[in-house]
């Protein structure tokens, strides 16, 4: 997104983009190791370090140096980066699909956890607000939510205030995904035996500490298939942003068959769309299976 908006315009933005790119590279390497070698990136790194005769403590130092070297290389490459500005109204295709679904996936789980805890809260005001939000958002389709964001919401704002439609679309997707994720997380929390919370309280843990260390790890562990299923649906359902006038991958491939140069091409765009969806969804499902095997989901302790 930063590259599309014309590159960096400050030291803080440049450092943020460098660390974001480093995190993306490390994450993709971890997913690739899980899919190909059925082991995480850290496990593969320790195995490689063991072959070199490096111990665990030295392995941590070597890993830190490798990450620092990656950040230094990216900082050197991205320094004084200046590109042409591309407005959000010109975004489209696979890039727009990845932006909308990626932000929605990244924000759905944290927001869903907070909403689920709010719905189970003993504070009447917080519980009522969480219930109203979840039930209201889940009772309407995403298209209706986007229509309200693009037509009704600007009517309540001053005339001089203008909102980016892509930002409104992303906010709508995040709100919709968070409401559904809240119910998934709440189901996982309710599946944890009540004795787990009582045991945590007997050890002197307060609410947030017991939730973070005892309840949520067990709840999220058992809800991995449902969570990944919600992520897959979000990745495939970005075509609804066409109500804002944006063309994601599905709409862009549909428009190709109507251009004079590529007229009457119907099967090829469908095949490309299906292939890209299969690759993305298959990668997420395989990573889900890797997490289930690693965490022992469905096996006896």
CATH of the domain at 110: 1.10.3720.10
pLDDT attached to residue 8: 47
Query: Does residue 169 sit in the same domain as residue 262?
Result: yes
Tell me: do 69 and 115 sit in the same domain. no
> Is there a domain that residue 84 lies in?
no
Integer Cα distance of 120 and 220 in angstroms:
16
Reported pTM? 0.72
Rounded to an integer, the average pLDDT of 242-265 is: 76
Query: 32 and 155 share a domain?
Result: no
Q: How far is CA 105 from the centre of its chain?
A: 3
**pLDDT tens digit sequence for 42-89:** 677 767 666 666 565 666 666 677 777 777 776 666 655 555 666 667
pLDDT of residue 129: 92
120 and 71 in a common domain: no
Please tell me the total count of domains within the chain.
2
192-205 mean pLDDT: 85
Buried b (16+ CB within 10 A) or exposed e, 147-185: eebbeeeeeeeeeeeeeebbebbbbbbbbbbbbbbbbbb
Same-domain status, 71 and 102: no
**Judgement on whether residues 25 and 132 belong to the same structural domain of the protein:** no
Has residue 131 been placed in a domain? yes
Structure tokens at 124: 């009447």
**Residue 108: inside a domain, yes or no?**
yes
What is the distance between the alpha carbons of residues 42 and 296, in angstroms, rounded to a whole number? Answer: 19
The model's confidence at residue 141, banded by pLDDT at 50, 70 and 90, is confident
Provide the pLDDT for residue 75.
Answer: 65
- 57-80 burial: b if 16+ Cβ within 10 Å, else e: eebeeeeeeeeeeebeebbeebee
146 and 291, same structural domain?
A: yes
In a domain, 301, yes or no: no
Domain that holds residue 15: 11-78
Please report whether residue 163 resides in a domain: yes
Beta strands, E only, the chain? 92, 247-248
Tell me: the pLDDT tens digits for 104-113? 888 888 899 9
Whether pLDDT at 121 is above 60 = yes
**Rounded Cα distance, 135 and 132, in Å:** 5
Maximum average pLDDT range among 7-11, 81-85, 108-112, 292-296: 108-112
């Amino acid at each position: 997104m930063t590259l599309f908006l014309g590159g960096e315009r400050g030291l803080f933005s440049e450092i943020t983009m460098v660390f974001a790119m480093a995190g993306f590279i490390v994450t993709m390497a971890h997913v690739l190791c899980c899919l190909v070698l059925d082991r995480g990136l850290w496990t593969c790194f320790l195995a490689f370090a063991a072959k070199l005769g490096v111990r665990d403590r030295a392995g941590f130092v070597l890993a830190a140096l490798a990450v620092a070297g990656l950040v230094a290389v990216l900082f050197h490459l991205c320094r004084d980066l200046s590109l042409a500005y591309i407005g959000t109204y010109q975004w489209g295709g696979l890039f727009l699909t990845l932006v909308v679904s990626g932000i929605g996936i990244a924000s759905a789980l944290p927001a869903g956890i907070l909403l689920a805890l709010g719905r189970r809260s003993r504070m009447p005001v917080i519980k009522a607000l969480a219930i109203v939000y979840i039930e209201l958002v889940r009772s309407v389709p995403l298209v209706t939510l986007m229509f309200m964001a693009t037509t009704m919401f600007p009517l309540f704002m001053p005339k001089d205030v203008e909102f980016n439609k892509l930002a409104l679309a992303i906010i709508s997707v995040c709100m919709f995904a968070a409401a559904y994720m809240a119910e998934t997380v709440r189901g996982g929390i309710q599946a944890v035996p009540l004795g787990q919370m009582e045991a945590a309280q007997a050890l002197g843990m307060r609410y947030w500490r017991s939730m973070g260390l005892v309840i949520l790890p067990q709840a999220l562990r058992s809800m991995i298939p449902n969570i990944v299923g919600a992520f897959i649906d979000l990745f495939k359902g970005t075509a609804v942003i066409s109500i804002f006038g944006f063309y994601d991958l599905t709409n862009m491939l549909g428009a190709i068959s109507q251009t004079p140069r590529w007229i009457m091409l119907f099967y090829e765009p469908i095949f490309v769309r299906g292939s890209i969806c299969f690759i993305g969804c298959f990668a997420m499902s395989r990573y889900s299976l890797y997490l289930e095997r690693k965490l022992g989901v469905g096996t006896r302790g």
